[in-house]
Chain A
Amino acid sequence: MRVALFATCLVDAMSPGVGKATVEVLERLGCTVEFPMGQTCCGQMHTNTGYPDQAAPMVAGFQEAFADHEYIVAPSGSCVASVKHQHEWIAAGQLTDRHVTEARRLADRTYELSQFIVDVLGVTDVGAFYPHRVTYHPACHATRMLGVGDRPLQLLRAVRGLELVELPEATSCCGFGGTFSFKNADVSSAMLTDKIHHVLSTAAESCVAVDASCLLHIGGGLSRNRTGVTTVHLAEVLAATEAP
């Protein structure tokens, strides 16, 4: 199966390891992964900060880059949610009718990684080995806008060696919210403090999520507090295998 990887700007710029891991898992599952070089960003940061006009060229760029692809897969719940729920609105307000139609067409073809693996490929055991105690933070957009449900957990439970500990108050937001973390830094930090408190209470070595952005935030707090607890993207857990 041919799969186009939408790496997302954050993974491209800050967490290339997540992109590499996504490629590795998809190839292991028999996909032919392509990376359309025309891609940049879904425009979510601009849209959510009040600049849909500025996001419009990014939406158009996304459509150009992925026009010919049947399956578009991204290791991010919130970027996929933006493609599925915001691109049409931006196209309607800022671009042409053709872009609106295209936004709908591509929305149907875009998948968050865990949804793609479980629903399209029909796999829950990806053959990973990850001998660590981890806890899982259900990222808000993946949970509430995409409805990924327990798919990431199904995948994690099938990983050999992995010990999964339930995160208390798991579905409460970590406080990132894109530019919210700057504009309302105090509230954002108060939310993060509670999230970190819960992560630490599990005595996990790492906190897993399906979004690099939430992990950047939670990881930033874990690192500042010198907790020694790390963050790891679901793709990275799934990519890990027993040493050859």
Chain B
Amino acid sequence: MSTTDQPAGKAEITQWPRATNTGHLHGDYFPRAARVALADPQLRRNIGNATTIIREKRGSVVAELDDWAELRAAGAAIKDATMADLGDHLERLETEVAARGGVVHWAADADEANRIVIEIARRAEARDVVKVKSMATQEIGLNEALAEAGISAWETDLAELIVQLGDDMPSHILVPAIHRNRSEIRDIFRREMGNVGVPAPDGLTDDPPALAEAARIHLRNRFLTTDMAISGANFGVAETGTVMVVESEGNGRMCLTLPRVLVTVMGIEKLIPTWRDLEVYLQLLPRSSTGERMNPYTTMWTGVTQGDGPEEFHLVLLDNGRSTILADPEGRPALRCIRCSACLNVCPVYERTGGHAYGSIYPGPIGAVLSPQLTGVADNPSLPFASTLCGACYEVCPVAIDIPTMLVSLRAKVAADPDSGDARERAVFRSAAWAMSRPQRWTRLLRLMRLGRFLARRGSFRNLPPPFNGWTATRDLPAPPDQSFRDWWTAQRDGGGDA
């Protein structure tokens, strides 16, 4: 319960990626990172504005459907059934992709996935690659790994482009640059575009269409001249080996169709068995993520087709901790996640801290349950506590992931972990539990607490020692009453209970 640490410098929260094989999944100590974020009023304003708008849009399009509850239940059930037989479905996917001219690679962790992609790029003699917005490749730190291998990765999603040009990190699953407002974006474009390619037009304003046009001009040449593209996948359909990306801008489609070589990095939980199952998710996803009835672009491809689109297709199936989650019945529901980000947009903690405070590229409620499970709790011990358990996330989740319950179970794992548990806190709680689990002890404790009244000023405490100072820094704590409820009851009712 340390609440007395000095505020951290910005450097401390942007220190990832660390040198491990799981990629960008490690958080810093959340309370400290959150304090840095809270001190930035521009950040809070940008995130507050954006999440309020998306929240309202989602609310109204979800309310249009009478069968939302059934869709949500189906979304959960299909994923659960798929997870129960994931191995078989994955083999089916592999067979179908291979039968249609694609190559399937299996990557146990981030390092292996990166090595596979670099190897493909080398063989294709690609010095540059264009990228479709993808969480999986952010998760494994692919851009950095490619850069180390001398290959430049160019983000083409508008928000990812802003993040990349600003030498920044994504702070939201769907809107990676949600922490930036449009004048900050204009400044980044003006400052950085010229350094890496076509510069921003003279006199660029912060008008959204002007910013989009600047990005379009900047990217056009890249699409036309780059030989290799890398994407993630929203869904992979096992029965035909079809992979799918859902997006809003059309830049993804350019990447998926123009280059000669296409590599898709897909988390193994993105798999669904049949096309019929897609019906459910293509309704749940756009309404939950962008608050649209349907997303503007849905691109799907199946292996390679002569004379149409990429000549070479590689599918990298990424585990990176997922099979560990699969083996844990309490954690498994996290694998249902379709990365819609609805839970981020309603989370009161995320709304105030933004995504960077979570460290991992998966922020917000889903990040707080996913990141510690992917890395093991020892690498992310503070994230399960970054929630009031208010339940807003579970309420909106289109695949009904009970995030608060998972957080509680993860907290127990943190507390029980020899490296992450706080022995002092455990001892304090043990004493409290000792006193609170027997009525006689509890009654005596309540009487003892009354002595606290002598230390209070005008009926409340304003400045308590640690660990209670975290409370009294901003809130009063009333002094205990002179009589507990049970003492009142005994006195009034003359032992009317059944002690």
Query: Which A residues form the contact surface with B (CB < 8 A)?
Result: 7, 9, 11-17, 19-20, 34-41, 43, 45-55, 57-58, 60-61, 65, 85-86, 89, 140-141, 143-145, 171-173, 175-192, 216-217, 219-221, 223-224
Bound: A47/B389 CA distance, A: 12
B97 adjacent to chain A (CB < 8 Å): no
Q: Which of B387, B412, B467, B478 is packed against the most chain A CB atoms within 10 Å?
A: B412
> Considering the chains assembled together, what is the distance between the CA atoms of A48 and B391 in angstroms?
13
Q: Are A186 and B432 in contact (CB under 8 A)?
A: no
CB of B102 within 8 Å of the partner chain: no
A40, A47, A219, A223: the one contacting B436 at CB < 8 Å is A40
Contact at B436–A48, with CB atoms within 8 Å? no
- Given contacts A185-B471, A224-B476, could you give 11 more A-B pairs where the C-beta distance is less than 8 Å? A7-B486, A38-B498, A45-B432, A51-B429, A61-B437, A172-B348, A173-B392, A175-B388, A183-B470, A221-B474, A224-B475
* B496 adjacent to A35 (CB under 8 Å): yes
Q: Which of B30-38, B103-111, B296-304 contacts A (4 or more CB under 8 A)?
A: B30-38
CA distance A89 to B432 in the complex (A): 21
Chain B residue contacts of A185, Cβ below 8 A:
3, 31, 470-471, 473-474
Q: Which 4 A-B pairs have the closest CB atoms?
A: A177-B388, A50-B415, A37-B499, A220-B475
Given known contacts A185-B474, A186-B31, A221-B474, A58 and B436 CB-to-CB distance under 8 angstroms: yes
Interface majority SS on B: helix, strand, loop or mixed?
helix
Known: A37-B498, A176-B388. A181 touches B471 (CB 8 A): yes
Q: Is the CB of B388 within 8 A of A191?
A: yes
Chain B nearest CB, measured from A118 CB (Å): 21
**Residue from the set B386, B405, B433 with the largest chain A CB neighbour count within 10 Å:** B433
Output the residue of B34, B384, B483 with the most chain A CB within 10 A: B34
Residues of B within 8 A of A (CB): 1, 3, 30-31, 34-35, 38, 348-349, 352-353, 384-392, 394-395, 405, 408-409, 411-416, 421, 425-426, 429-430, 432-433, 436-439, 442, 446, 449, 460, 462, 467-468, 470-471, 473-478, 480-481, 483-486, 488-490, 493, 496-499
Interface contacts (Cβ under 8 Å), in number, total: 212
B31 adjacent to A55 (CB under 8 Å) = no
Contact assessment for A55 and B433 in the assembled complex, using a CB-CB cutoff below 8 Å = yes
| CB atoms of B411 and A16 under 8 A apart | no
Give Cα A85–Cα B404 distance, bound, in whole angstroms. Answer: 11
Cross-chain contact of A13 among B387, B394, B416, B484 (Cβ < 8 A): B484
With the chains together, A50 CA to B389 CA distance in Å? Answer: 13
Among A58, A145, A177, A185, the one with the most B-chain Cβ atoms within 10 Å of its Cβ is: A185
Contacts A7-B485, A144-B391, A186-B31 given; does A40 touch B497 at CB 8 Å? no
Q: Are A41 and B436 in contact (CB under 8 A)?
A: yes
A220 touches B408 (CB 8 A): no
CB-defined contacts of A48 to chain B, threshold 8 Å: 389, 408, 411
A16 touches B387 (CB 8 A): no
Which of B389, B408, B442, B446 has most A Cβ within 10 Å? B389
A224 to B385, CA, bound (A): 26
Interfacial chain A residues near B386, Cβ < 8 Å = 184, 187
Q: Which residues on B sit within 8 Å (CB–CB) of A189?
A: 473-475
Write out the residue numbers on chain B whose beta carbons fall within 8 Å of the beta carbon of A9: 436, 442
Q: State A182–B477 Cα separation when bound (angstroms).
A: 13
A12 touches B389 (CB 8 A): no
- The answer to whether residues A141 and B442 also contact, given A55-B433, A220-B471 and a CB cut-off of 8 A, is no
Contacts of A187 in B (CB 8 A): 31, 34, 38, 349, 352-353, 386
Residue in A50, A86, A183 whose Cβ sees the most chain B Cβ within 10 Å: A50
Contact A85 B405 (CB under 8 A): yes
CB-CB under 8 A from A192, the residues of chain B are 474-475
Q: Which residue of chain B has its CB nearest to the CB of A176?
A: B388
Compute how far the CA of A157 lies from the CA of B1 in the bound complex, rounded to whole angstroms. Answer: 42
**Contact yes or no, A181 B390, CB < 8 A:** no
A184:B389 contact, CB within 8 angstroms: no
Q: Which of A20, A54, A177, A187 has the most CB of B within 10 A?
A: A187
27 A-B pairs with C-beta separation under 8 A: A13-B446, A16-B485, A38-B498, A43-B436, A48-B411, A49-B411, A51-B412, A51-B415, A52-B412, A61-B438, A144-B391, A175-B348, A177-B388, A180-B388, A183-B385, A184-B31, A185-B31, A185-B471, A186-B35, A187-B386, A188-B388, A189-B475, A191-B349, A219-B478, A221-B475, A223-B476, A224-B475
